[in-house]
Homo-oligomer: A and B are copies of this chain.
């Protein structure tokens, strides 16, 4: 089976190669895709408000065009739960483009109408809310977790686990991560092991959809 090249767009600035490749490495391991990993420039804090999103979107579009032209990728993932620039990127390139948030939300809907969302922000990304509709039964943000960096602190796992339990108490039958930072700390496996509830990981979701649309598997 050929290893198809795909582009993974990280929506913040990093020179740490391990962090840059984290999503791509997971996708390569699961789906036999060859990931070209790139981050946007001059935004070390990534996207955290309307202004930073507006600043990021043209850079995301340019990265996507570069990936199609120079690296001849067969598909692109915007690897962020907020799907920044998804429609503009689709207009700019001729290959399939997916966003982590919409992939995760659609996959959750496919198997459940009682979805709980774990986020790090004070809201769930708008595209995810629109997709899940009434199936979004609850969302929670762990105490003292306000950005991706906070998830790397030791106490974050315990606080995130409390939030996951609250989601189950609220009636959730499946948990979706509205931040790819939960993937970085391996929190999906922890929830499945300790709480026995399925988790939709947005990085796995985008990898799965690229694999499905490019190869039918």
A binding-site residues for B, Cβ under 8 Å: 30-31, 87, 96-98, 102-103, 106-107, 109-111, 113, 131, 188, 198, 201, 204-205, 208-209, 212-213, 216-217
Contact = CB atoms under 8 A, between A and B. Distances in A.
Contacts of A106: 106-107, 109-110
Contacts of A109: 102, 106, 131
Contacts of A98: 110-111
Contacts of A216: 30, 188, 201, 204
A155 B138 CA distance: 51
Given A102-B110, A103-B110, A217-B31, A208 B212 contact: yes
A212 B208 CA distance: 8
A113 B97 CA distance: 11
24 contacts: A30-B216, A30-B217, A96-B111, A96-B198, A97-B111, A98-B110, A98-B111, A102-B109, A103-B110, A106-B106, A106-B109, A106-B110, A107-B110, A107-B209, A107-B212, A107-B213, A111-B209, A111-B213, A198-B213, A201-B216, A204-B212, A208-B208, A208-B212, A208-B217
Given A106-B109, A110-B209, 10 more contacts: A31-B217, A98-B110, A102-B110, A103-B110, A107-B209, A109-B131, A188-B216, A198-B213, A208-B212, A208-B217
